[in-house]
Structure 1
Amino acid sequence: MMTSAAFRRLGVTLFCGFLSIAIFAQNTTVTGKVSGDGTPLSGATVSTGTKSTLADANGVFTLSLKPGTYTIRVSYVGYKPVTRNITVQSGQSTSLDFSLERGEATNLNEVVVLGSRSRLPRSNTATPVPVDVFSVTELTATGQVEPTQMLNLVAPSFNSSRQTISDGTDHIDPATLRGLGPDQVLVLMNSKRRHNSALININGTIGRGSVGTDMNSLPTSAIDRIEVLRDGAASQYGSDAIAGVVNVVLRRSKGTTITSQIGQQYQGDGKVAQLGIYHGFNIKNGYLGIAADLRYRGATNRAGYYTGPVYTNWNVGRNSGESDAAYIARRTALYNQDQASISQYGFDRNNNMAIGNSLLRNAQLMVNGGFYINKQTEFYYSAGASYRKGEAAGFYRYPFQKSQVIPELYPNGFLPQILSEIWDKSVMAGIKFNTNDWAWDISNTYGGNSFRFDVANSNNATQYAMTTSAPTKFYAGKLGFNQNTFNVDITKDLGAIMGMERANLGLGAEWRTDFYKITAGEEASWKNYDPSSGKAGGAQVFPGYQPANEVNATRTVLGAYADFEADITHKWLADVAARLENYSDYGTNIAAKLAMRYKLSDVVSLRGAISNGFRAPSIHQRYFSAVSTLFVNVGGTLTPRQVGTFRNNSDVAQAFGIPSLDAEKSINGSLGITLKPANNFSVTIDGYYIRIDNRIVYTSQFTRSNPVVNTILTPYPDVNAAQFFTNAVNTETRGIDAVLSYRPRMRKGSSLELSLAGNYNRTLVVGPIKGTDKIPADQFGNVLFSRQEKSRLEESQPRSKVSISGNYKVGKFGTMIRFTRYGEVYTRDAADPGLDESFGAKIVSDLSVSYKVAKSLTATLGANNVLDTYPDKLQVVNVPVPGSVGPFLDNSSFGRFVYSRNATQFGFNGGYYYLNLTLNF
């Protein structure tokens, strides 16, 4: 007979057995492998809609599901999602393998990892802040060969226009996000911080006074996709991420891809040739991709017909007491003398300037690899090098400009050339591993950029009479910036512990060191050999860096962050992050962020975020100094001026009362709605507000016409004016982003992708200009931050940019059409409202047709700006003529400029056609 204790034991045993059977009946294991291009897709998302998991390092996934019918969706960024219906039965394990194909385009349906420390990616419509993803296929379809210009055509909130007659900025495109500055967007490569350029933009361009990142140093053949986070992320990724983050993800797939393109502008110049090769090696338990690009970009020229003085300066002022008739007669006599000389020497008024794209030659190499030591440990690395050689022109020096021209060398004047050599290098290595459910990522990234200036077809006007030689080519010096960043990042999913579906904790630390260097040019490039002559010393177009400008500076940045993201309920996602950073030269700052997304239904979600940011002055802004030749509009005439930039902590800056540089601080808020009524249709609308206090600007010019300025600049006889970096203004930016993506169902063998994307933003300078009480008055009034500089922040970039595109494929044929509307822009003169201009909105259309010649070869014939659209021409063009007294208002510089170089919407080169060949095997 069974005892009561034995009976209880039997009861417990039977209960456990039945419970085990019940659990076994309710949960069945589904396993499989995800691959693409023959390569395991580590991190691919496998989801049933209610349960999700990630594929491991070998592409293997495991799902535990109750019996029933499911639709499993597998996705990976850059590949077409795959869905499959399965029926799970009790007690029967299921095995499924998925092979993904490269996507034709990526948009709001793709999963993303940027902006989250979670190990499980989310779709674009499920993120608490807006993120765009652009595949290499979509980028290549733009017809461009440089990453910044590719991104400019597909991302409405991103702007990058090529500059002209702007020294070094002719060779590196400044890029902006949401209308802010190039130094307020952080660029990553493979989610690791990318170093800045050595160049600081000091001419009258977009991003004047800022330092950006040269994305064109990356070979496009190495790029798998580009992710754009459109929200303040300083608490997650560090300083500079005020406007957002751009993450360039490198390819790691197997196989070979060769791309080539040839093209030119409609006008017959600007020839482009590009060859890109990518090869992914078949490596056991690893991956290795090598990419190389060769690019040639020919110069363009859209200069107008020059009507100004050449050999004799007839554009002279009135003498004291001179009557109108006498003044006109004198000017007319000088004009006639000049015309006679022009006829005698055959001076070409059509071809004395080069206003357009600079000539560039690029060679680039990138390696991206890694291998799995075991299922839990991955070692990864990348390394790259880029070499760019550029040629750009400055302002023509005419024979009458005797302070700048040696007539014995150039009796007809000369067009000086700025030659650049830009080296960019980077190397990164890291290891990822798991310990006790903690995922570790330890890495070190080192990168640098150098910019060498040479000047050709020039002279030092003070040299010929004082020395036995008069060179026409000069080494003008070199800029260098290097950065080393060491990161430790760890994450852990606390969902099971906290009773949530997902609850990811991220912790990390960063140690960064910045190095900045200026090397002086040769003596003849900067020296004034005869100060009493009244002639300009140094090489014309770009005086070399002087020994006094040399610097070799270093600073360190220590940072630590914490990030917690959780699905508090099935509908409510919350993310909170905080970051502490200490700069060796600017102290400590704390940035924090709160982001949320709430699902009103399976179709509609609300999302929003609020954060603060911090951007310390770049090491360039603190230590840069130079003397530059700038052409300034004075009374309607572009006048050359030797302008000195003095360091913020210099004696000159102190004498002017310029305060010490401080960090920019920001508040960023966003609120949006996402709609996804079907897998092939999605809409996101996000409004945002960004307040930046103590924004760093590059001042206008304090000239010697002011007696106080003249006294301060006494030790610098070659300097006509002074400029500085200072925290002068506060700004507020309001805007809205909207993206609609639709892929209608088509008959077999065809596909159609439609998208509508737009951005509207407006930046305003708010509150008083800081420091004006300490700065002496000048002929321009408030030169600390003039109305011209205010307009550059507020109005020189399009306030709106809307793009609608369609991509249709049927059989071997494909076609793409895109219309982009660029909003109006404005320019303001520093002193005279009569020189203000506005340039209306324009629509630019792009068209391409592709044909699959063979299984592995596709040919594309296309045109950017197919209708040959140009921006509005300059309207304030009242060129001074000898038969009148004036006043004269002229923005065209005697007809040389047809289009504005100070505010450009989409450039002024006109239409461009090209042929692209892509070979995959």
Structure 2
Amino acid sequence: MQRTINNKTVLALSIAAMFASTAQAQDSSATEGGTATVVVTGTRVANRSALDTAAAVDIISADTLKNTGTTEMNQALSVALPSLNFPRPSLTDGTDTIRPATLRGMAPDQTLVLVNSKRRHSSALVNLNGSVGRGSAAVDMNTIPTAIVKNIEVLRDGAAAQYGSDAIAGVINLRLRTDRSGGEGSVTYGARITEYDLWNDVPPSGGTWSGPASRERTDGQSTTVSAWKGLPLGESGYLTIAAEYKDQAKTERGGYDMRQQYPKLANGAFDPRENTINRFNAWYGDPEMQQTTLFANAGNDLGNGMKAYGWASYQKREARSAGYFRPAQDARNIQAIYPDGFLPIIAPTVDDFSMTGGLTWSLGSWDIDTSLGYGKNKMRFEIQNTLNRSIGPSSKTEFDAGGFSYDQLVFNLTGVRTLDVAGLSSPLNIAVGTEVRREGYELFAGEPDSYRYGGQVLANGTPAAPGAQVFPGFRPANEIDTHRTAAGAFVDLEANITPQLLASVAVRAEHYSDFGNSLAGKLAGRYDFSKIFALRGSVQNGFRAPSPQQQNFTSTSTNFINGVPFEITTFKPTDPVAVALGAQPLDAEKSVNVSLGGVLRFDRISLTVDAYRIKIRDRIVLSENLTQANVRNYIASQGFVGVGGGRFFINGVNTTTDGVDIVMNWPVNAGAAGRFDTTLAANFNSTEVTKTPVTAQLAALTPAPVLFDRANIIAIEEGQPKNKFSANVNWKLGQFGATFRATRYGKTMTPGTTAAFDFPLAARTIVDLEGRYALTPKLTLALGADNLFDQYPETLPPALNTTGNTPFSNYSPFGRSGRFVYARANYAF
């Protein structure tokens, strides 16, 4: 259904929407009655339960989030949902600090994140390095504290026709607490207590220093203090506030550095310091982090059927992670500054703010909801323990490298009503609405010493590279401050055609000021053969608009090639150099989603099986680094002197994803043995890249550069687990409680430069265990361990870990930090 539309279509739907409203998450309270939990995501019909919808919806309760060893939202969701993965890469610059999650094997930015059914702003960071999600700019869900969340609804189905851009893989809707009283405080302390192997086979050859075979570590100490409190506003209003402070020490999973560290002595002998230096010189693991978060959610009855609601949040995150270690003899080092070499540190500061307010009221038969929301994410980089080699011994060792910000202003006017229609078995639920969005992106430069060339040359006469080592600062030429607008409108209809047959249809039109128009539609249905068995399915097309980050991110570094300086740039797609290489303004990604599933209910046991196919064309990807000699020559022939190539975002990758989700819930009251709530789940997922981008300009060169090479194809096809199984059992008996969780991650592949260097990662099962005891009715103590049996992915072979510094792959779906042992105290107010 994707086709060109005109502005009159959008305007007409927008005018129609002035008389309508969406189902409001603020007033739709979840009903905990076995499996009959009411949902608001994926349907705009009031009082629809999770097992009665036409699409798969998972519900993650506040207790599920609480009874884990982590306070990271992404990590808590990854162990609760089989189709959601949260890899934790390292040595990936800003991605170490803002790590994205993925749903159904899609890119992180192909899942829409809502808070109380309103669109959440994304992070300013676009992931550029070789990790899962390369090229995406996603919502940072770790800016939302688990303490403020009542439950989370995850729609595992495309929903662009209902919610707009980004909802290709599905929708995650975080519903906030609406308490007028009560509260809870929590203190969690834990640490990594672990041992890991350093070598897959034998240490790399070439050095004379033999390292140990394994290493014991106790690190990653983490303290989290959080609390929420419900307060009354008037006779019926509420104000729920939450605060969280987190102090996390780093984890270090580097290997034994087998390289020669110092220049040889004049007589040709090794420097004696080679035998005494600490060769565990890397920082390969989780970042060091201090994080403070505040969140408030409020609502009140204004009388005459009108209600006001709103929420606001703020988070400040200060993090530190590392680049690659530079030995003392490294040409990039200045021994007068760092006689033993140096480990450069990337230290981002992230400020995240959001505020949303709205009103609901009745207008005749319509329930009206209007809201205005604003969110901003800003990331500034400080580079520490480093130097600008081109400046020489007078170089600073800390630099302000600049940064970027993204902000979003969203206006919604929506509404819902029911209408009795002859021939239908239920009233027709009509929802229409409009959304107007303004998005801004700013990139600001660092201080001059963070990027400038100071004129120094190396011992071999080659000019030294300019800029701060590991992360050269953004230059004034990179600066940008831009915005775009988008306006959309939708119509959503749902009704029972017969008592057994539920049908829904949705159409959404959107206009973007930068790339044009989009039209998306969805048809979904469900047939209940009996109270025990139902079939459900949907077919739809969708889209994801190119993000302002993808359209406007740019950075430049100077590389010397045979003594000649060349500017290597991440170009905007509209930059004249990128256009000369064949780049075009980015267009929306288009998708077609088909799903078919079944629902089985036996007393209190429920089983859902949902198969899906997601075909995406014109996926937006970041190209390879195009720095070959023939590329440089071609650029020069087009009149761009001194440009050494670079990379840019481009449409053109087509993929097909097939998968199946299986979820079974089985609550059992075993009398004297207690209550057992069991969830068994599985996801099977396979993605195939069916097309890669080419441009006529580059195809004409000999040899023709590849825009999207095999390593990036493998990352899409095999960089995430082919399957994932989970078993979760919660037990409660009187004052005692426990949670047992086992998650089996299927095999993945670490892509190499050639097939000979591809490295498969075998399946691993991670077991988590927590025990709880209610010391008093208000005070509960818990002890637990995540990754109880201290599982790690295989260590990389010497050919892929030539320095010894990086023994594990960034494509491990469960990270590589080992066992986490923790204690927690919860006190109810």
TM-score, length of structure 1 as denominator length: 0.81
Aligned-pair distance for 1:920?
Answer: 1.0
The structure 2 residue matched to 1:81, chosen from 24, 28, 33, is: 33
Deviation (angstroms), 1:376: 2.2
Deviation of residue 642 (structure 1)? 8.4
AA matched with 2:593? N
Distance 1:642 1:207 in 2: 26
Structure 2 CA distance for partners of 1:768 and 1:427, relative to 1, 3 Å: closer
Contact 1:148 1:216 in 2 (8 A): yes
Q: Are positions 1:286 and 2:286 aligned together?
A: no
Match of 2:823 in 1: 915
How far apart, in 2, do the equivalents of 1:185 and 1:670 lie?
17
| Amino acid aligned to 1:130 | A
Provide the aligned C-alpha RMSD in A.
2.5
How many Å separate the matches in 2 of 1:717 and 1:299? 44
Provide the rounded CA distance (Å) in 2 between the counterparts of 1:358 and 1:768. Answer: 34
C-alpha separation in 2, matches of 1:812 and 1:752? 14
Aligned match for 1:251, one of 177, 192, 196? 177
Q: Say whether 1:194 aligns with 2:120.
A: yes
Task: Give the deviation of 1:657 after TM superposition.
Answer: 1.9
> Contact 1:57 / 1:375 at 8 angstroms: preserved in 2?
no
Residues 57 and 375 (structure 1 numbering): CA distance in 2 closer, same or farther, change over 3 Å? farther
2:583 to 652, 658, 662: 658
Cα distance, 1:235 vs structure 2: 0.4
Contact 1:56/1:375 (CA < 8 Å) preserved in 2?
A: no
CA shift, 1:438, in A, is 0.5
Q: Which moved more, 1:524-533 or 1:730-739?
A: 524-533
* Equivalent residue in structure 2 for 1:752, among 634, 658, 676: 676
| Matched position secondary structure for 1:270 | strand
- Residue 112 of structure 1 and its aligned partner are, at CA, apart by 1.0
**Structure 1 counterpart of 2:153, from 227, 240, 252:** 227
Structure 1 residues 121-178: Cα deviation after superposition (integer angstroms, max 9, x where no partner): 3222211000101011101112111101110110111111222000000001111110
Take 1:497 and 1:556, find their aligned partners in 2: how far apart are those partners?
41
1:445 aligned partner, one-letter code: G
Which deviations, in whole Å up to 9, do the C-alpha atoms of 1:848-894 show, x marking residues without a partner? Answer: 1100010011111000000111111113x1xxxxxxxxxxxx21132
1:599-678 equivalences in 2 (<5 Å): 599-627=528-556, 643-678=568-603
Task: Indicate how the Cα distance of structure 1 residues 704 and 398 shifts in structure 2: closer, same or farther if over 3 A, else same.
Answer: farther
Specify which of 472, 475, 479 is matched with residue 546 of structure 1.
Answer: 475
Gapped regions of structure 2 (runs ≥ 5): 1-22, 194-216, 560-565
Q: Which amino acid aligns with 1:295?
A: K
Secondary structure in 2 matching 1:479: strand
Residue from 719, 739, 759 that aligns with 1:837: 759
Match of 2:3 in 1: none
**Secondary structure in 2 aligned to 1:150?**
helix
Q: Report the Cα distance in structure 1 between the residues aligned to 2:268 and 2:96, rounded to whole angstroms.
A: 36
Counterparts of 1:711-750 in structure 2 under 5 Å?
Answer: 711-712=635-636, 721-747=645-671, 750=674
Pair 718,393 (structure 1): closer, same or farther in 2 beyond 3 Å: farther
Contact 1:261 1:273 in 2 (8 A): yes
Q: Residue in 2 aligned with 1:26?
A: none
Alpha-carbon spacing, 1:746–1:783, altered in 2? closer, same or farther (3 Å): same
Alpha-carbon distance, 1:816 to partner: 1.1
- Give distance in 1, aligned partners of 2:661 and 2:712: 26
Closer, same or farther: CA 56–513 of 1 in aligned 2, 3 Å = closer
Identify if the C-alpha distance between structure 1 residues 552 and 56 changes in structure 2 by more than 3 Å, giving closer, same or farther.
Answer: closer
Secondary structure of 1:459's match?
Answer: coil
Match of 1:476 among 401, 404, 423: 401
Structure 1 residue 712: deviation in Å?
3.9
Larger Rg over CA atoms: 1
Please give the alpha-carbon distance, in whole angstroms, between the structure 1 residues aligned to 2:79 and 2:189.
19
Who is 1:464 aligned against? 392
| Aligned twin of 2:773 | 851
In structure 2, the CA distance between the partners of 1:353 and 1:720, relative to structure 1 (3 Å rule), is farther
Native 8 Å contact 1:825 1:839 kept in 2 = yes
Which residue is 1:269 aligned to? Answer: 219
Is residue 698 of structure 2 the alignment partner of residue 786 of structure 1? no
Aligned residues of 2:631 and 2:645 also touching (Cα < 8 A): no
Aligned to 2:256: 305
Find out whether 1:348 has 2:278 as its counterpart. Answer: yes
Deviation by residue 1:819-854 (Cα, 9 ceiling, x = unmatched)? 110000002223x22211101000110001100010
Alpha carbons of structure 1 residues 626 and 717: separation in structure 2 relative to 1, 3 Å: farther
Counterpart in 2 of 1:408?
336
2:296 corresponding residue in structure 1: 367
CA shift for structure 1 position 113 = 1.1
Q: Deviations over 1:637-676 (max 9, x none)?
A: xxxx985201111121022122332211000010000011
The letter for the 2-side match of 1:348 is N
Contact 2:632–2:644 (Cα < 8 Å) also in 1:
no
The residue identity in structure 2 corresponding to 1:368 is N
Label 1:306 to 1:133 Cα distance change in 2 as closer, same or farther (>3 A): same
What is the count of residue pairs matched by the alignment?
772
Paired residues for 1:28-39 under 5 Å: none
Identify which range, 793-802 or 491-500, moves more after superposition: 491-500
Matched ranges for 1:124-143 at <5 A: 124-143=50-69
- Equivalent of 1:682, from 606, 609, 612? 606
Q: Which residue of 1 aligns with 2:350?
A: 422
Q: Does the 8 Å contact 2:102/2:108 carry over to 1?
A: yes
Q: Percent identity?
A: 38
Matched, 1:904 2:808: no
1:720 CA displacement? 5.7
Provide the C-alpha distance between the structure 1 equivalents of 2:134 and 2:109, rounded to a whole number of angstroms. Answer: 10
Secondary structure in 2 matching 1:268:
strand
Asked whether 1:237 is paired with 2:163, we answer yes
Paired amino acid for 2:313: G
SS at match of 2:659: strand
How far apart are the structure 2 equivalents of 1:785 and 1:859?
Answer: 52
Q: Secondary structure at the match of 1:576?
A: strand
Partners of 1:268 and 1:419 lie apart in 2 by: 23
Task: Tell me how far apart the structure 2 counterparts of residues 291 and 836 of structure 1 sit (CA, whole Å).
Answer: 46
Label 1:842 to 1:595 Cα distance change in 2 as closer, same or farther (>3 A): same
Whole-Å separation in 2 of the counterparts to 1:725 and 1:347: 43
| Structure 2 counterpart of 1:115 | 42
Match of 2:210 in 1: none
Structure 1 residue aligned with 2:419: 494
> Does residue 625 of structure 2 align to residue 701 of structure 1?
yes
Tell me if the contact between 1:531 and 1:717 (Cα under 8 Å) persists in the aligned partners.
no
